[in-house]
Structure 1
């Protein structure tokens, strides 16, 4: 992945966090130098990343490649049909090879589901592989809900615990939005009032769904051997298994699983900014 890809990856992770921070600052008394500090910090992160990319590729002339950052999945604007075909082809040709030990020959893969699954169905669907993390969101029709990424080594226990944490956070978000609505009063701008009111309703619905341990899981990052990964495709709930043998470090990998309801092209409004549960 080249430096430009790395910066786009940082956009997906950093911008939603910065936007949330700025939104919070925008509705309370803030000194000008504090807002300038937020902007300067953002620029510093991007600049430092660009310098890092240049310094860590001795063979590059102008804009170097950053070889240890990997993207797995399908990005906004890309064809989901092409992605699914490519994943099937790569999985079919994935070489099992001899494995002297239980873990030799294993690799990471992104497993996407054809529907949103409840946490208690994950163990049977993902049997035979080691699960690392899962991706969730509450499907509320046209409403944009947050993608949540959480570690999940034990199924379903870790997912249930993570859902409890997300439910608590979403309840706090809903309360904060309602407080802002009350503070606006009758003189508020209609667009701003609608924004906060919608935020309160969506966050409340998300909290209730996670509290019920909803059918919200739509993807998982797993680890297993080629034959075991191929076996996963025998489950009706599994939409695709995208092997990623090039992945060595999860913290240097950006996973982009498509949502179950998207079957042609990933739209620009796909929820982004996934963050760990309880964050």
Structure 2
């Protein structure tokens, strides 16, 4: 009820009795004292009503700006994280399964033992609701971009998402080549800058080619299912860990950071090892090429660690009916968002 209506009702109920009381006591010698007390009581009633009306205003969402983090951070022990995830999964109460099933289940971060192609995901995740998958092209001796692909339908959305990433990477490669060609001069600095642009073009082209062929690049997924279904996923050969997150209710306020398959002891930035030689000093990226490419849309994270927020649709069953193609997004929260393009690495 509005404050104005309350005040009008207060006037209608209090003023007539007060008027009659004042009239009866008008001839008494204590008339001034009664009038003073009546004025005080009336003022207190009006003030209390106004304060109550102000305090009764609706309270907004107090969770705005809060972010829930699920996964690992740089420097964390990977074996310790795996043990903690297994313990949390075993501790999920079986008595709450019916209620959770009605609400769609519990969110969980599924980490894979190795990079898998999209078609293998149907075997690993086909019977649970999938929200997003994490991917990365493992190139020997190079640090590549971590991408997230909203994927309600596995593997169709994953394949379509890889096609979109491939198109963006091809554009990035062409942009790096154009920048390299635009560098004038033959000094040491100019040569190093051209080498850095050429290295960026090489990495982007390799990523594009891999995604075009539906590479074995997926290493984690965000799912939602009942505790029994999550424990079933954890028992499959390709699954490394299932980290349940019953505290998560909104994906757009959650950051998932799964460990990479090659991270076995301590979480570090991904730098693949292989037959290729270690990059030289001249191959290390300069600040000028770490900025977003002019042609790259806001999309995937280019930082070493997969610190991303997932605003994709929340699945409520294993096979949603949505047919819209996936889109790529990063965190809307400025505190956890990452740059939108990749850079060559040592």
TM-score, normalised to structure 2, is 0.59
> 2-side partners of 1:134 and 1:155: how far apart?
10
- 1:172 Cα deviation from its structure 2 partner: 0.1
CA RMSD, 1 decimal: 2.4
Contact 1:146–1:271, Cα closer than 8 Å, also in 2: no
Q: Please name the residue that 2:118 is paired with.
A: 119
- 1:274 Cα deviation from its structure 2 partner: 5.4
> 1-side partners of 2:211 and 2:308: how far apart?
16
Q: Please name the residue that 1:143 is paired with.
A: 142
- 1:208 Cα deviation from its structure 2 partner: 0.1
Q: Does 1:128 align with 2:127?
A: yes
> 2-side partners of 1:112 and 1:213: how far apart?
19
Q: Please name the residue that 1:25 is paired with.
A: none
CA-to-aligned-CA distance 1:121-170 (integer Å, 9 cap, x gap): 11110132100000000000221111001100001110011011000000
Q: Please name the residue that 1:75 is paired with.
A: 73
> 2-side partners of 1:252 and 1:165: how far apart?
25
Q: Please name the residue that 2:23 is paired with.
A: none
Q: Show the 5 A alignment for 1:116-265.
A: 116-187=115-186, 189-265=190-266
Q: Count residues with an aligned counterpart.
A: 218
CA-to-aligned-CA distance 1:14-36 (integer Å, 9 cap, x gap): xxxxxxxxxxxxxxxxxxxxxxx
- 1:97 Cα deviation from its structure 2 partner: 1.5
CA-to-aligned-CA distance 1:182-208 (integer Å, 9 cap, x gap): 111443523322221110000000000
Q: Please name the residue that 1:277 is paired with.
A: 328
- 1:220 Cα deviation from its structure 2 partner: 0.1
Q: Which residue among 86, 89, 100 is the counterpart of 2:87?
A: 89
Give structure 1 regions of 4+ aligned residues with deviation exceeding 4 angstroms. 271-276
Q: Secondary structure at the match of 2:149?
A: strand
- 1:272 Cα deviation from its structure 2 partner: 4.4
Change (3 A) 1:274 1:199: farther
Q: Secondary structure at the match of 2:109?
A: strand
> 2-side partners of 1:125 and 1:106: how far apart?
18
> 1-side partners of 2:308 and 2:214: how far apart?
19
- 1:250 Cα deviation from its structure 2 partner: 0.4
Q: Secondary structure at the match of 1:108?
A: strand
Change (3 A) 1:67 1:163: closer
TM-score, normalised to structure 1, is 0.72
Query: Higher relative CO (CA 8 A, sep ≥ 6), structure 1 or 2?
Result: 1
* Unmatched segments (≥5 aa) in structure 1: 1-54, 58-64
Change (3 A) 1:224 1:273: closer
Q: Show the 5 A alignment for 1:35-46.
A: none
* Unmatched segments (≥5 aa) in structure 2: 1-59, 271-303, 310-326, 330-339, 341-346
> 2-side partners of 1:101 and 1:233: how far apart?
18
> 2-side partners of 1:236 and 1:185: how far apart?
54
Contact 2:110–2:243, Cα closer than 8 Å, also in 1: yes
- After TM superposition, the structure 1 stretch with the greater mean CA deviation from structure 2, 212-221 or 179-188, is 179-188
> 2-side partners of 1:204 and 1:277: how far apart?
19
Q: Please name the residue that 1:22 is paired with.
A: none
Please say which structure displays the higher CA radius of gyration. Answer: 2
> 2-side partners of 1:204 and 1:271: how far apart?
22
> 2-side partners of 1:56 and 1:131: how far apart?
27
